[in-house]
Amino acid sequence: MKTVVAIAFVLIIGSLASALFFLMRDKGRSNRTVQALAMRVGLSITLFLFVLFAYKMGWIQPKGLH
């Protein structure tokens, strides 16, 4: 489970980095920045829903603060 979440975070950060790259390179002439940011939002929502699903299925348990 930790691996799946870590991979998702890497993909989200990669999408954010590609949006920054397209923003600097294209100077607003194309919509690749918007597409990369939309992909980041989609990945973030998917990760959130996956974590909720994993909790409901009992795959992950809250540990709390000690």
Q: What ranges do the domains of the chain cover?
A: 2-57
> Which pLDDT value is given to residue 34?
92
The pLDDT score that the predictor gives to residue 64 is 76
Q: For residue 50, what pLDDT is reported? A: 95
Q: What was the pLDDT predicted at 49?
A: 97
pLDDT score of 53: 96
Please tell me the pTM assigned to this model. 0.82
Buried b (16+ CB within 10 A) or exposed e, 33-56: beebbebbeebbeebeeebeeeee
pLDDT at position 62 = 87
Q: Give residue 43's pLDDT.
A: 96
Q: Report, as ranges of residue numbers, the positions in the chain whose pLDDT lies below 70.
A: 66
